[in-house]
Structures are given as C-alpha cells and as structure tokens.
Amino acid sequence: MTLDPKIEQVLSYFSLIYIDGIPPMVTDASAYLSFICTFCAVDALAGYRHGPNVKIGRRFKKFVTAYLPAAYHGREEQLYDLRNSMVHAFSASHFELTHNHPELHFTMRSQRVLLDAHSFYMDMKGAAEKYFAELKASADLQKLFIRYIDAENGGITVTPTGPAGLVVTGGMW
C-alpha cells in the first residue's frame, strides 16, 4: 500500500528530528534533555495513532500499552506524570534518570524507578517502527494519521533556512 505524500513527509521529518536527532544526546550531559525529546516523540506517535479526538493523556497511555515493551505496562500513569513533569517543570518527578547504564533500566533504587536514556530511546524507536509498519498496511490508520496532522498542532514542518540550519514548525498544513 502506498502512503499519502503528506504521511511520507511527516515520517521523514519524524525520523530527522527524533530518530536521528536524539542519539547524540543520550550519552553525555544532555541525556536529561533526551528524555524530554523522547517523551515528545511518544506524544507525536500517540497522536498519529489515536487521532485528534482522543485526549492527550489517554492516547499517550494507550500508545504505551500497545507499542512499548512489557516493562512499561502497568506504569502508564506514572510515565504520563513523568512526561508532564519533564515537559512542564523540567523535573524527574518520582523517577531517577541515568545514561550509559542500560542494566539499570526499569530497576528500583530508593523506591524510585530508574530509567536509562538510551534504553528509553531504543524502546521508543522500536515502538515507532512497529506502529509505522501497521500504518503502512492500514488505510484506516492512514486516514486517522491524516486527520491528526491536519488538526491544529498535529503536523511537523521542517523548512531550510540556509546555512544556519532548519526551522521546525507545527500546526495545520
């Protein structure tokens, strides 16, 4: 099944910004920022998958359940709280965050769940790949995707600005 050019374009931008953009951050002091970016990627994926008519928290939790590994299941509410704390208050909430320690991912320390930046990124990437495979095979998912990116704040547009870099905007097409 061929994809609508609008879907192809958004998938290309998603890959450029998230799939290719996050890895340089996960191994150094900017790893903390990578968590925010990874949560934003999950938000975008959840929007694409569940559409504009499902509230953000609900679609986030549904996406986590359906596409992220089993370690995340049963923690959807905690993860959504962490997402909100990271994005809105730059706080790790009731979690501990680390990088370069995949062996600690989803372990407990001081009664807090520990998350590793690279592991979280890789789990998001795997979820994206799983969802994108389903998207390519389903006309219904493609229609929902188009509805979402046509809605306010649903799309990603990347435009060249010359030698200085790229400008990323959201919103309607």
Q: How far apart are CA 25 and CA 41, in angstroms?
A: 14
Name the average pLDDT for the chain. 89
Q: How far apart are CA 78 and CA 67, in angstroms?
A: 17
pTM here? 0.89
| pLDDT at position 110 | 87
Q: Sorting pLDDT into bands at 50, 70 and 90, what band is 151? A: confident
Domain boundaries, the chain: 5-171
Q: Assign 3-state DSSP to the chain and report helix, strand, coil percentages, each to 5.
A: 60, 15, 25
Q: How far apart are CA 109 and CA 123, in angstroms?
A: 21
What residue has token string 């990124």?
A: 121
Q: What percent of the chain has pLDDT over 90?
A: 79
Q: Are the CB atoms for 164 and 172 separated by under 8 Å?
A: no
Q: Sorting pLDDT into bands at 50, 70 and 90, what band is 120? A: very high
Helix (H) or strand (E) holding 93: none
58-114 tens-digit pLDDT: 999 999 999 999 999 999 999 999 999 999 998 998 899 999 999 999 999 989 999
